[in-house]
Chains A and B, each alone.
Chain A
């Protein structure tokens, strides 16, 4: 006799995973950044299990999308593996810090940090695509030593794009923190990885995002095994979200190709900022420093996310004028 209540619960979590996958893919922030707030704020899942489930889903989505980009030769495996030296180390330390936070029952720190990370990730993510082809810089000593000169064929531009990565050491430093956040919050830290490769190493945005996608799986796997032994993988939850987020991210990437009006992405950025603010409020309430009633919290989160996104939208529209980032 099938337990329909559990089946219903499973499908509900799976649906949440699909939603997280779609929003994560449309905004480019990744499923984990949506999944953890969704599970903790709306499903009542303890943050330790939400984070564990998110890490597992992150490996699945990363592997799924990275497979396509590596085949097309856009993702740079050499650069990705080189930077993983710092990211995997960061992920180990992050996962151990997570264990300490949970053992000492100060999970509210995770809510606060998560909220701040989502909100600060929105800006570089919105700006993604601004510099389609960075000016190829004269390589520095790290470009030569770490073999950072490469090229790929850009389908949209219809030409071969050659590039030279620089400042490998700075990329490594940023990647360490990307790994740390991944292990600590169960996310792919795509925004920080993009910052490391785009801003620090001057790689083309397409190479950056696809290489980041490839790297995320390795980083998440590093944290996952530690989570497993510490008991933060809940089978029922992780199974539902792995299937759901993978499915959602596939739907999201298909939708992204079909949506002609890219402005629609602002709706999803608003949802993300709502989740970010709500996580911070939940963190404040859980810290017992100040109790925010949930109905007030909801209102505050809606109002502040609307204001934040409007300000960001205006700033970017004014700055860019004719060439809006999202077009």
Chain B
């Protein structure tokens, strides 16, 4: 098996299992939400309401990713749902990192640089750009 075949196989498995993991986490989270009747102390009726002009809609700006570990430890629904969503967002990062490693290994300089630029853009979108938008 040559290196490009190996990369193809690795990428394929990452994609497959990441989606499975993410959807499983989301389903666990949603189940907990319905069983507990709330998530992160917010009643389910408010969580399900996305068009409330008076009290505002409960959205991702109200739950920081840093709250995920604590929420999971206390079996809170939002911890699992958020983790599931972040697994999805991070799946391409994993794919790009494995591509980068592969291109470094086969000494393909041009594609090492190009993959690095894509990874940089994606990481900038995750870590830097959000500071320029409202929170």
Contacts and interface: CB of A to CB of B under 8 A. Distances in A.
A118 interface: no
Interface string A233-261: 11111111011001000000000000000
Contact of A146 (B37, B92, B110, B118): B110
Contacts of A229: 60-61, 130, 133, 135
Nearest to A218: B92
Contact of B19 (A49, A227, A237, A246): A246
Interface in A130-162: 145-147
Given A49-B59, A56-B88, A73-B5, A3 B45 contact: yes
B34 A228 contact: no
A89 interface: yes
Given A231-B61, A232-B59, A218 B125 contact: no
A225 interface: yes
A78 interface: yes
Question: B23, B95, B125, B126 — which one has the most chain A CB atoms within 10 A of its CB?
Answer: B125
Question: A10, A49, A232, A239 — which one has the most chain B CB atoms within 10 A of its CB?
Answer: A239
Range of interface residues on A (Cβ < 8 Å): 35 or more
A81 interface: yes
B134 interface: yes
Contacts of B7: 77
B104 interface: no
Interface in B88-135: 88-93, 95-96, 99, 108, 110-111, 114-115, 117-118, 121-122, 124-126, 129-130, 132-135
Contacts of A223: 125
Contact of A88 (B13, B85, B118): B118
A230 B134 contact: yes
B59 A6 contact: no
Given A59-B89, A232-B59, A234-B57, A99 B11 contact: no
Contact of B125 (A73, A225, A234): A225
A49 B57 contact: yes
Interface stretch (A18-26, A61-69, A281-289, A291-299): A61-69
Nearest to A70: B12
A56 B90 CA distance: 11
Interface string A208-219: 000000100110
A318 interface: no
Range of interface residues on B (Cβ < 8 Å): 35 or more
Contacts of B30: 10, 239-240
A66 B91 CA distance: 12
B12 A92 contact: no
A117 interface: no
Given A60-B22, A64-B15, A81-B96, A222 B121 contact: yes
Nearest to A74: B8
Contacts of A231: 59-62, 134-135
A231 B99 CA distance: 31
Interface in B8-62: 8-9, 11-13, 15-16, 18-19, 22-23, 26-27, 29-30, 33-35, 37, 39, 44-45, 47-48, 50-51, 57-62
Complex A-B, nearest 10 residue pairs according to Cβ-Cβ distance, in ascending order: A231-B61, A229-B130, A88-B121, A233-B60, A67-B15, A71-B12, A67-B16, A218-B92, A225-B126, A6-B48
19 contacts: A2-B34, A7-B34, A46-B57, A56-B88, A63-B19, A63-B88, A64-B19, A82-B111, A103-B134, A218-B96, A221-B93, A225-B89, A226-B129, A229-B61, A231-B134, A234-B59, A235-B85, A239-B26, A242-B85
Given A60-B22, A217-B15, 11 more contacts: A3-B34, A10-B30, A85-B114, A221-B91, A222-B125, A226-B129, A229-B133, A231-B134, A235-B85, A239-B81, A246-B19
